């Protein structure tokens, strides 16, 4: 089954560009049966759900996704909305948080994932990471997602949920989809700006370690706004982010169509 894999399409920040329309057109052009989006569709639940439905209708492909941290944001000043928002996604037919998709000998499953500071530099203390702020910059989840009151606990909760589901398929190949980063290779080089600190909020080493203990064939993520693919420990790791239009590289094209073509991974699953 052919799948188009992409993440971080940010249709609201990229509102001046027909991202959903062009993604659907690209998937149709590729004769894809699946579109997998690894989070950060928009910053409001209804727009995210409407976008998923639009891409599915226009492409003719089944759309699967996991929410990203932006998709989970509540209104500013009301971070406690995250539980309601997350449960709403779990009930949606596109969302892998609430269901596993069995395709013959393969299973696609996933969830948001979370972070536990393990990709941050050891020069910072736990107390400093818990502040989620450095040099005048604060990671925005701190303001808009109540999960940040216990990042370590939330990460462990996510790992437990995923492992319970993974263990149910000992004889199948797994395609794992998370928004958060599972391997260090997808983090930002520490010498760039303050990323030795802010890498702490990109994902968890334990997530990647979990994947290596099960028959995972492919691991998809997003969040970091990189476009990378690599093979490691028998797993194909994919981070295929469209990103904000302000981050698009000229060498990847001048149009949103070209950016999608260069960001997306087209694979047989």
Tokens linked to 95: 């969302």
pLDDT for the residue numbered 190 = 84
Give the tens place of pLDDT for each residue, 104-138.
999 999 999 999 999 999 999 999 999 999 999 99
CATH number, domain containing residue 24: 3.60.21.10
Burial (CB count within 10 angstroms: exposed 0-12, middle 13-18, buried 19+), residue 126: exposed
Give the tens place of pLDDT for each residue, 196-245.
999 999 999 999 999 999 999 999 999 999 999 999 999 999 999 999 99
Q: How many domains does the chain have?
A: 1
pLDDT for the residue numbered 39 = 98
Give the chain's mean pLDDT.
Answer: 97
List of residues 6+ apart from 251 with CB closer than 8 A: none
Mean pLDDT of 135-158: 96
Task: Give Rg (Cα) of the chain.
Answer: 17
φ, ψ for residue 165, nearest 5 deg: -75, -40
Domain that holds residue 53: 2-268
The dihedral through the CA atoms of 224, 37, 23, 9 has a sign that is: negative
CA end-to-end span of the chain, whole Å? 5
pLDDT for the residue numbered 156 = 98
pLDDT for the residue numbered 192 = 86
Indicate the pairing of strand 34-37 with strand 62-65: parallel
């Amino acid at each position: 089954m052919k799948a188009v894999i992409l993440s971080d399409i940010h249709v609201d920040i990229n509102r001046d560009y027909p991202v959903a329309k062009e993604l659907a057109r690209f998937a149709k052009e590729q004769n894809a049966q699946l579109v997998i989006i690894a989070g950060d569709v928009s910053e409001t639940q209804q727009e995210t759900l409407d976008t998923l439905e639009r891409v599915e209708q226009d492409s003719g492909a089944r759309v699967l996704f996991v929410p990203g941290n932006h998709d989970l944001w509540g209104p500013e000043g009301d971070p406690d909305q995250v539980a309601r928002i997350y449960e709403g996604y779990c009930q949606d037919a596109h969302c892998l948080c609430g269901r596993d998709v069995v395709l013959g000998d393969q299973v696609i499953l996933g969830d948001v994932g979370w972070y536990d500071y393990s990709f941050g530099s050891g020069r910072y203390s736990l107390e400093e990471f818990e502040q989620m702020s450095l040099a005048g910059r604060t990671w925005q989840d701190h303001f808009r997602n109540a999960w940040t009151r216990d990042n370590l606990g939330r990460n462990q909760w996510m790992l437990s949920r995923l492992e319970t589901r993974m263990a149910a398929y000992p004889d199948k190949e797994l395609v794992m989809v998370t928004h958060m980063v599972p391997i260090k290779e997808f983090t930002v080089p520490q010498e760039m700006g303050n990323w030795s600190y802010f890498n702490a909020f990109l994902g968890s080493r334990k997530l990647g370690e979990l994947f290596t203990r099960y028959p995972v064939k492919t691991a998809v993520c997003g969040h970091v706004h990189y476009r990378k693919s690599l093979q490691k420990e028998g797993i194909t790791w994919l981070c295929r982010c469209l990103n904000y239009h302000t981050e698009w590289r000229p060498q990847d094209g001048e149009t949103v169509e070209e950016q999608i073509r260069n960001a997306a991974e087209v694979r047989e699953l």
